[in-house]
Structure 1
Amino acid sequence: MLLALGGLALTVASAHAASPANPGFDVEAATRLWLDTLQGPARARSDAYFEGGYWLPLWGTLIALAIDLVILRLRISAAIRDLAVHLVRRRSLAVALTALLYALLGTALTLPWTIYTGYFREKQYGLMNMSFGGWLGEQAIEFAISLVLMTLLIVIVYAVIRRFPKTWWVLGTGVIALFMVFVMALSPVYVAPLFNTYTELPQGPVRERIVAMAKAHQIPAEHIYLFDASKQSKRISANVSGVGPTIRISLNDNLLNRSTPDEIAAVMGHEMGHYVLGHTWRNVIFITALAALMLFATSRIAPALLARFGKSWGVKELADPASLPVLSICLSVLSLLATPALNTLIRVDESEADAFGLDVAREPDGFASIAMKLSEYRKIEPGPIEEALFFDHPSGETRVRMAMQWKKDHVPDAKMFHPAPLPQTFGKE
């Protein structure tokens, strides 16, 4: 919340410091013209989809907690541990096997919820392009990758817990930070291509403009990738991903095919802002600090739970791999409580990238237009508290107003633009 207030203060200060280039240009009226392009059933559908998403993390956490409590109460995690110890004598392998079996069981039990939130709900709102079989296949690939990576992480963390039972959360934080950077570096090259085909963006005015913007800010632009996200959904997106030698610029075919050149430039300028402003490393530092707080709290809460219920659960100590559901309970609740803080960090990053993108692309109306297109899955006009708590990006209203203020301050003789209304079928198949 402090980050949000600080960002707001900077925005207000810079607005007062700027000398209006067009005192006759009405920012609020221009903003309203854009916002009013979304009306009727299309706006109701946008609001319903996004507002329904407010409850998904809570219900998902409650379902996970219920499953973990049942696993503990029925001593299933203890039985899994006993089976693992019986099959493999080496401690690290027993931890790995326990983690694998626990993950398989948890995934099977939460599968109905995953299917509803990941497939049927998306299909209901016209955002899903895949068949159920295709979606399920991608989920299987994602689960296999997560299973390998998370098992490795769990084995390392439990080794740290055994070696440093009192201060394990300190080294555990370092392990998670290194793991996070490792995944960020490898994902663009080895994980993303498992789900989409990446090809070079064809030569032409769009590529030339992206390359010019990238080179002007020392962003590597030897390769600009286009990927076929339309096979999965209708969502428009782009990114500058990777770390060090794996950094790359990518945009999806929805952005290319459903947007104007000005809109594309606005989006790519925004994405470049994340790179130039160092958001990747700032986020790593923030998330590492947040992980440290969560692991510290877990190092106090989990032993207390085991002292009270461990005997009935068949869990001997925190270093016992049968304690995995206990760690999961603690981290699930703490993650849910940390959501507003994480949303605030991301929202501040996105706002800074918006400002950067406007300066680079110089397309305020293109930026406003793409902000309205994102209303397919983002509520356009939330209340201030609603936006602070639930939005991990600035709302469409916030973004359009920023674009119109930029237009007033930087475009000589700026004129009011009267955009056409979005169709009532907007957001539907």
Structure 2
Amino acid sequence: MARKMGFYGIIAYILYGFAVYWYLFYFADTNLPFEYEGSRADPATFMNGRELMLTEEYSKIRNLLFFLSTPFEWLFYFLILLLGLSKAFKKWAEDTSKNKYGQTAIYMIWLSFFAFIATFPLSYISYTLSKTYNISTQTFTSWMKDELIDFWINYAMMFVIVVVLYWLINKFKRFWWLFAWLLSVPFTLFIMFLQPVVIDPLYNDFYPLKNKELETKILDLAGQANIPAQHVFEVNMAEKTNALNAYVTGIGSNSRIVLWDTTLNRLSDDQILFIMAHEMA
């Protein structure tokens, strides 16, 4: 019965994948609305025919990978339960540690490791796709380092969440879900507070913006949007990507305005202010 259900799950995922592929590559209308043709919003006004073709092609493949990835994770966890691997992880944890927190940590490391291995091919395809279309400039070693950082951050967060959920279930058997929901709000805010100063620096190096005149203009704009940022930071992304980006992150005293160096190197101050106005809104 379990094998049959697993087989049906795999077939359903394959059919879903074909349906998404068919829609994106043969059915979806990617034409620009008539009223925007020839305007500044029309890519044809600043891109040649080959660039337009490559952009559309890249977008379709990226969207396909996006819509395949989450259902693939669902299928993976479904098969983990169905094929008895979850029981095996539990047994390994119980054989290794007598402490319940230790058992939880060991169970989750096995589950996270298998999930990492299962989803690695899709992640690698996404990486090579960005390299092929000259979006990414990141070396494999650097990319793999980021993947491993992702792994440990996600593992640590999930461990905390699972431990708290188990405690709530044992303490409040009837209304544990309500307390879990109530705790999710401060937990999310806490992570948002930590991210700019603890998590993000694990991936990249951040520096105060060297262009102080531009910083003053951006902070004036931030003040109008009630964003309590005191400084603007730039981050070295040229060694990882050719893409342009700017963003606002964090909350409270850890609010940060960040510009990629690729954006600073390729856009004028007015263009950067336009992007920042969009991000702040």
Normalised TM-score (structure 2): 0.79
Aligned twin of 1:90 = 99
Aligned twin of 1:370 = none
Task: Give 1:132 deviation, angstroms.
Answer: 0.8
Task: Give 1:34 deviation, angstroms.
Answer: 6.2
The one of 268, 271, 278 aligned to 1:270: 278
1:186-233 residue CA offsets vs partner (Å, 9 max, x unmatched): 010011111111111114432232233234454334311111122211
2-side partners of 1:244 and 1:33: how far apart?
Answer: 38
The amino acid of 2:280's aligned partner reads: M
Q: Name the CA shift for 1:31/1:110 in 2 (closer, same or farther; >3 Å).
A: closer
What 5-or-longer segments of structure 1 have no aligned partner?
A: 1-25, 274-429
2-side partners of 1:161 and 1:230: how far apart?
Answer: 47
Task: Give 1:32 deviation, angstroms.
Answer: 6.6
Structure 1 position 126 matched with structure 2 position 134: yes
Aligned twin of 1:46 = 55
Residues 142-291 of structure 1 correspond to what in structure 2 (within 5 A)? 142-273=150-281
Structure 1 position 77 matched with structure 2 position 113: no
1-side partners of 2:170 and 2:53: how far apart?
Answer: 53
Residues 366-385 of structure 1 correspond to what in structure 2 (within 5 A)? none
Q: Whose RCO is larger (CA < 8 A, sep 6+)? A: 1
Q: Name the CA shift for 1:31/1:203 in 2 (closer, same or farther; >3 Å).
A: closer
What 5-or-longer segments of structure 2 have no aligned partner?
A: 1-34
2-side partners of 1:58 and 1:34: how far apart?
Answer: 25
2-side partners of 1:48 and 1:27: how far apart?
Answer: 21
Task: Give 1:166 deviation, angstroms.
Answer: 4.3
Q: Name the CA shift for 1:212/1:145 in 2 (closer, same or farther; >3 Å).
A: same
Aligned twin of 1:56 = 65
Report the 3-state secondary structure (helix = DSSP H, G, I; strand = E; otherwise coil) of the residue aligned with 1:229.
coil
Aligned twin of 1:22 = none
Maintained 8 Å contact 1:80/1:102: yes
1-side partners of 2:216 and 2:53: how far apart?
Answer: 39
Q: Name the CA shift for 1:221/1:113 in 2 (closer, same or farther; >3 Å).
A: closer
2-side partners of 1:165 and 1:35: how far apart?
Answer: 60
1-side partners of 2:175 and 2:65: how far apart?
Answer: 34
Q: Name the CA shift for 1:47/1:96 in 2 (closer, same or farther; >3 Å).
A: same
Report the 3-state secondary structure (helix = DSSP H, G, I; strand = E; otherwise coil) of the residue aligned with 2:149.
helix
User: What RMSD, in angstroms, separates the aligned Cα atoms of the two structures?
Assistant: 2.3
Maintained 8 Å contact 1:130/1:233: yes
Maintained 8 Å contact 2:247/2:258: yes
Maintained 8 Å contact 2:44/2:52: no
Aligned-pair identity (%): 25
Normalised TM-score (structure 1): 0.53
Count residues in correspondence: 247
1-side partners of 2:113 and 2:42: how far apart?
Answer: 51
